[in-house]
Structure 1
């Protein structure tokens, strides 16, 4: 195992210390627990937004804490759900009296722990609601989920729900737009290489030199199948076919596109993939409103990418365009 770390047991602690050192104007950490919150949390008159999950997906989720997106993020150990205590402390830290919305990726541990934290906070009289993101069209049930997995489409939920909350909307309204995004966002990914969890010290799975895995999860969970590596245009065609057929589009529809690198993919290759995505959408008369290319929800050093399409209407476009200022996502 080759990694730029000190001790496998301290990677999350040291990552958080480095994150805080890099972004002191955006973020602070709660005392004695791994919870990252907005520097100005709780924000008066605003619904609090809390998300989180296992570490190893950076910049998700702490990178999206800031103006117009999340109020708190709970980083667990690598590829491991945060604890209910982390989530409970996050809820309390961002609650300004208007309630808190939990944005949960659909993984069994995340859902269970967030729901426990929600019940703990509700017992103290805090109004808490939740949404569960399940944008991955690859597989219906997987190693760590009942139903579809939540992957890079979660970032669009952070952005749009965050913009609605920043306007001062009610908890009911923030949840409504979050659910609207979830209903209209679809993703699918692939991998050329595995990744190595530092504490494990060896790759989470193996692929032959000429193999790729289609539909893989962000923790290295199995996808739909393995096959010989193909040209990227063919890979994009397959992923796009699955995504578009899962949420039918009509001529003239508008979408936001996210080409998400898994941690070990050069931007050059992501832009080549986006070239084909744009070509397919043009052929289908689906208009691209905005495109995001980069690393938004990674899988350590895995080489591969995912495609996310979000079908837009006027409300979602306005919220997507709203100001956001966080370490990893800025729209000023």
Structure 2
């Protein structure tokens, strides 16, 4: 294992310390319990938006804390859920009296711990609502989940709901909006390699040189099935077909197309994959109205990518286009 680290146990804390130094104008990092909070939180007359999960998916979630997106994020150890104390601390830090919305990826530990934190916050008089993302079409149940996993759509949902919160929407409106975004989006991922967790020191699963894994999750877990390595056009078709069938998307739909890197794939390959996705959707009469290409929800050093399609209307497009200023996502300022 070759990694730019000091000690495996210190990776998360030291990375967050670096993040705090680099983006002191946008975020602050509270050390105990460990929480990343928007620098100007709590914000008067605004619903707080929080999320979180295991580390190793950077820039998810801490990189999305800032104006127009999240108010706080709770980082767990690598691929491990944060604990309720972190979520409660995040809730307290962002509550301005209008309630707090939790955005939770559908992983068993995350769901359970956020639920406990919401109960503790409610006992303190803080109104909390929760929306669970479960956009992964690859599996219904896995080692990590009961039901579908929450993956790439979480990024898009945090941006859209964050824009609505910034504009002053109330908790009920934001909850309904988040549920709608979750219902209108689907994702599918693939891997060329596994990833290496620093504390483990070896790849999470063995993937032979001439094979790829389809339907992988973001914790280094294997996917739905393995196939022989193929040209990018064929891989793109394997990813997009189950997405289009699942919703289902229809001719005339307008979508936000998100090509996400898993951490070890260069942008030249991600743009190539976007080209293939664009061709496949155009052939089906589906118009890409907005797009996002890059590493936004990763799996450490895994080589691979995921596709996410979100069906858009004018309102969702307007919220996507609204200004955002975070360490990892920024436009309109």
Shorter-chain TM-score tier: over 0.9
Which residue number corresponds to residue 163 of structure 1? 163
Retained in 2: the 8 A contact 1:142–1:222? no
RMSD: 0.7
**Cα deviations across residues 234-282 of structure 1 (Å, max 9, x unaligned)?**
0100110000000122222100011000000011111111101000111
Which residue number corresponds to residue 201 of structure 2? 201
Which residue number corresponds to residue 8 of structure 1? 8
Partners of 2:174 and 2:46 lie apart in 1 by 10
Which residue number corresponds to residue 62 of structure 1? 62
Partners of 1:4 and 1:325 lie apart in 2 by 28
**Cα deviations across residues 68-112 of structure 1 (Å, max 9, x unaligned)?**
000000000000000000000000000000000000000000000
Partners of 1:164 and 1:291 lie apart in 2 by 19
1:241 aligns with 2:241: yes
Partners of 2:181 and 2:303 lie apart in 1 by 27
Work out the number of aligned pairs and report it.
332
* Runs (5+) with no aligned partner, structure 2: none
Partners of 2:330 and 2:272 lie apart in 1 by 24
**Cα deviations across residues 10-67 of structure 1 (Å, max 9, x unaligned)?**
0001000010111010000125221000000001100000000000000000000000
**Cα deviations across residues 152-204 of structure 1 (Å, max 9, x unaligned)?**
11001100110111111110001111111000010000001111110111111
* Runs (5+) with no aligned partner, structure 1: none
Matched residue SS, 1:202: coil
Matched residue SS, 2:135: coil
Task: State the Cα distance separating 1:118 from its structure 2 match.
Answer: 0.4
Task: State the Cα distance separating 1:331 from its structure 2 match.
Answer: 1.9
Partners of 1:152 and 1:308 lie apart in 2 by 6
Q: TM-score, normalised by structure 2?
A: 0.99
- Distance 1:64-1:92 versus aligned 2 partners, 3 A rule: same
Retained in 1: the 8 A contact 2:17–2:29? no
Retained in 2: the 8 A contact 1:28–1:39? yes
Which residue number corresponds to residue 141 of structure 1? 141
Which residue number corresponds to residue 312 of structure 1? 312
Retained in 1: the 8 A contact 2:139–2:215? yes
Matched residue SS, 2:34: coil
